[in-house]
Structure 1
Amino acid sequence: MIMTDLKDYISNDYKAIDTQETIEAVQDFFDDLTFSHFPITEEGIYIGSISADDIETFDGDKKVTDYKYTLEHFFARANMIWLDVLEVFAKNHTNLVPILDENNTYIGYYEIEDVIKFFHETTFLKEQGAIIIVSKNAIDYSMSQIAQIVESNNGRLLGLFISNSDLNTIEVTLKISVGSLNEIIQTFRRYNYDIISEHNEDNYINSLKERSDYLDKYLNM
C-alpha cells in the first residue's frame, strides 16, 4: 500500500499505559523497546508521557499514578502537517509523539522513523531539483517574494523551509526545478538576498573567481 497521508502512520501497536499500571511492569516494557517516552492515560484520557530515563529511577512497587507529576505533556494533533509534527519531536527530544484528535481524544502515536520515512516520500526529496539556500534581513523576509522570484524565472518551487534564524537574519532552504538556476540566483541578489549555497551555474561567483585568479597571476609575475 502506498501511503500518501501522514495520518496513515499513526500507530497503535502498543496500547497506552494506564496510571494504575505498576512501575515494575512499565520498566519491563521499556527494557524490551527503544521508546524514549510513552503515553499515559487515566480512565481513557491522555494525561502525559512518561520518560524512559525517568522511570529507571522510580520505585518498582509503586504505580504510575504515584509519579504523575513527572509526566511530560507534549502531543500532536491528527490534522497537523508533517513539519509541525517534526517540530514537536525536536522540541521535546523524543522519538515518539502521542496523537490527539480535535476533541482531545487519544488515538495513537507517531514514531520518528515513520515521520522521516514520510518526509522521504515527499516531492521535496523525491523529485529532482536544485537546492538553494538564501538569507535576508528578518524584517524584509517574504515567503511570497521568494516564490515570485523563482516563478518569474520559469522555475518551479518544490518546497522551502526556514533552516536557520536569529533576531536579525532569516535563512531559507528551497528546492526548485526547471528554469535557469543562474537567473534565479542573480534575481535573488537584485532583491538583496545573500546566496549561502554554492553553485557551479553562478556566473557572478565564477566571474569573481576568474578575476581573482587573474589578479593572483599578475601579482606573482
Structure 2
Amino acid sequence: MTIANLLSQEIPALDQRSTVAEGILIMGDYHVRHLPVLINEEFRGLIDEDTLLDSDPSASIGSLMLPSAPRIFVQPQDHIYDAVRVFAQHQISLLPVMDDEELFAGVVTLENLIAAMAELGSFNDPGSIIVLEMGRHDYSLAEIARIVESEGAIILSSSLRSYQDSNRIEVTLKLNGRQIAAIMATFERFDYQVKASFNEAELQSALRERYDSLMNYLNV
C-alpha cells in the first residue's frame, strides 16, 4: 500500500497571505495541530498550533515561516511504512505529500494512516495473536509459518520488535484461528518462548464460566 492510497486533499494549505487567526480556525475545524504552508505556491514546510497560538492573530503566515524551516514530506509512490517513520520521527499530526515535480499534492492524516495500518496488519479480521520471544539468529519466518500451518492455521500478519542493546527480538503473529492452544504447545515443543497470547474466543469462554459459577453460587 502506497501513500497514493491515503492522499487527502480535504484539508486546505495556508499561504503567505493567510492570517494566524485563519490557521487556528482551520486547525480546529479539522482537528489537526499542523498545517502545510505554501509560499508563492511552493511548499515551504509545516506550521504548528503552538506557533500560531503564541502569535498575533492578525499576523500573516508568511511572516512566521523561516527560510530554514524543514520541508517534511513524502511522495505518492512511497510505502505507508515511510509515512509511519516520518510521523514518529517528527511527532506531527499530518504529513504533506509532494508529487514528482515537487508540487504540493495533499496530505496524509494520522487517522487515515492508522486505518491503513489496521487494514495492512489484518487487525480487523477475526483471529488470535501470539507473541514469541527469541534470539535474532533463531528467527525464521518460514519455520514459524510451518509450525502454525501444521496446526491448520495461517499467519495473517507478523511484526518484529528489537530490544535495545540485545540480540533478542519479539515476534507478534496475527493468526486466522481462534483456537491456539495446540499452536502454542507446538511452539513450546520446538523451544520457542511464548511470551503472550490474546484470544477473544477463549477470553469470552472464561468470562462465561466465571459468570455461570457466580450464578450457581448465588442460587445455592
Calculate the TM-score normalised by the size of structure 2.
0.70
For the pair 1:94 / 2:92, whether they are aligned, the reply is yes
Pairwise CA distance, 1:113 = 2.0
* Runs (5+) with no aligned partner, structure 2: 200-220
* Runs (5+) with no aligned partner, structure 1: 201-221
Q: Distance in 1 between matches of 2:82 and 2:149?
A: 26
Q: How does 1:165-184 map to 2 (within 5 A)?
A: 165-168=163-166, 169-178=168-177, 181-184=180-183
Q: Distance in 1 between matches of 2:160 and 2:173?
A: 9
> Quick one: structure 1 residues 49 and 185, their matched pair in 2 at CA, closer, same or farther if it must change by over 3 Å?
same
Q: How does 1:191-206 map to 2 (within 5 A)?
A: 192-198=191-197
Q: Distance in 1 between matches of 2:145 and 2:103?
A: 38
> Quick one: structure 1 residues 81 and 146, their matched pair in 2 at CA, closer, same or farther if it must change by over 3 Å?
farther
Pairwise CA distance, 1:158 = 0.3
Identity %: 24
SS of the equivalent of 1:46 reads strand
Deviations 1:125-173 (CA, angstroms, capped at 9, x unpaired): 2322221111122354444443344345543110012256323122121
For the pair 1:12 / 2:22, whether they are aligned, the reply is no
More relative contact order, 1 or 2 (CA 8 Å, 6+ apart):
2
Q: Distance in 2 between matches of 1:196 and 1:55?
A: 46
Pairwise CA distance, 1:197 = 0.8
How many residue pairs align between the two structures?
Answer: 197
Q: Distance in 2 between matches of 1:147 and 1:95?
A: 36
Pairwise CA distance, 1:86 = 3.2
SS of the equivalent of 2:11 reads coil
Q: How does 1:1-221 map to 2 (within 5 A)?
A: 7-69=4-66, 71-122=69-120, 124-163=122-161, 165-168=163-166, 169-178=168-177, 181-189=180-188, 192-198=191-197
Calculate the TM-score normalised by the size of structure 1.
0.70
More displaced, 180-189 or 73-82?
Answer: 180-189
> CA RMSD of the aligned region, Å?
3.3
Deviations 1:159-214 (CA, angstroms, capped at 9, x unpaired): 012256323122121111259834543443455432111478xxxxxxxxxxxxxx
Deviations 1:41-63 (CA, angstroms, capped at 9, x unpaired): 22333221111122211244543
Q: Is the 8 A contact 2:8 2:108 kept in 1?
A: yes
> 1:30 corresponds to which letter in structure 2?
M
More displaced, 36-45 or 148-157?
Answer: 148-157
Pairwise CA distance, 1:108 = 0.6
More displaced, 81-90 or 12-21?
Answer: 81-90
